[in-house]
Amino acid sequence: MKGFKFKGIVAGIKKGANAGKKDLGLIFSTRPASAAALFTENRVVAAPVIMGRERIKAGVCQAVVVNSGNANCFTGDQGLRDARETARLAANALRIPEELVMVASTGVIGAPIPMQRLIDAMPALTTELDNSSFEDFAQSIMTTDLSMKVVVKKHKIKGEEFTVAGAAKGSGMIKPNMATMLAFICTDLDISSTLLKAALKIACERSFNRISVDGDTSTNDMVLAMANGMSGAAVEDSDDALEFETILNEVTLELAKMVVKDGEGATKLVKIVINGAASAQDALKAAEAVSHSNLVKTAIYGEDPNWGRITAAAGRSGADVDPDLMDLTFGDVVLVKKGVWQGVEAEKRAAQVMKKSELEIVLDLNMGSFSDFYYFCDFSENYVKINADYRS
């Protein structure tokens, strides 16, 4: 991808079992890029989110510094000063304007950023960028993640090739309300910040806003997109914009699914599809209620086709439902038809479907023509273990 450089290093921010792992990352565009971002809707927000909301208004960004292991949240005025100082240090080292540097953090809430470690690490972070890779950056932003999350796609507009690359981190505190984790998307396409933001909103709504691990919304969520226009490909009309939206949608959905598959303690990736809703809002409400249900999640983990938990979740979702009209399938197995359980044999076949690491459940409300979906994961004992000693 033309004009972007990356770095991921060990700065000594992470503690405990993750001590000694990469925890400071950099994305640098060799020229200012069009930029757009979406942030958490949690009212408790980290210092980088406060700073980022202001800086992104200009629609331009040239670098982003990301630390893992410390959220810089609930750290008061000092946290905001630390975020700004981090941007200033990076800007000076890269010889770019300070206002073109964004900052993101992820990790434990409440502890101040160990600024001396960032100061000491800044020379290593900002030099020899040609010897590092996007994967190095992706590793540096991980916290409880077990796997690196990177997606790279190439496409052409009017014969000119461009690249869209995305990296994300997320494993716990995953519930939509934009953005449900940290994600960074880079492209060498030439596109305005206005069109970039419009495309990012659409893509995130159908990806990062359709996933759930545990129903918690983080204080640090950020999705940042940068487009430096160095490939020669450009968005010049509405058809071009649609071409870019298609690729961006693919990148964000793949990243979102990676987040769910890597959910803390997760063993299964599940897609719940709601069909036949009376309205778009009803379809979303029902899908969201099923995906957030702890009873559904534990049944998935136990490979128990406890269909009553699914229909009950839809029933309390606020959507317009009639239990006598519901159809429910696990994979290709019809378990409920017009509100009637299809018997023990059907349930046994559904249990076999549930042994797969990825499965699809479809609930047809038969109340209208609207549909929606969510991706979620199961709940295992490991989720409790991971979060019971997360700060230690």
Note the pTM of the prediction, 2 decimals. Answer: 0.91
Given a cut of 60, is residue 172 above it in pLDDT? no
Whole-angstrom Cα distance, residue 98 to residue 226? 17
What are the structural domains, with CATH classification, of the chain?
A: 4-261 (3.60.70.12), 269-388 (3.10.20.340)
Instruction: Tell whether omega for the bond before 58 is within 30 degrees of 0, i.e. cis.
Output: no
- Cα end-to-end span (Å), the chain: 39
Active site residue 180: yes
Q: Which of 126, 180, 187, 217 is catalytic?
A: 180
Given a cut of 60, is residue 324 above it in pLDDT? yes
Query: Do the beta carbons of residue 85 and residue 122 sit within 8 Å?
Result: no
Residue-wise pLDDT tens digits, 30-77 = 999 999 999 988 888 899 999 999 999 999 999 999 999 999 999 999
What is the 3-state secondary structure of 274-324? EEEECCHHHHHHHHHHHHHCHHHHHHHHCCCCCHHHHHHHHHCCCCCCCHH
Residue-wise pLDDT tens digits, 214-229 = 665 667 789 999 999 9
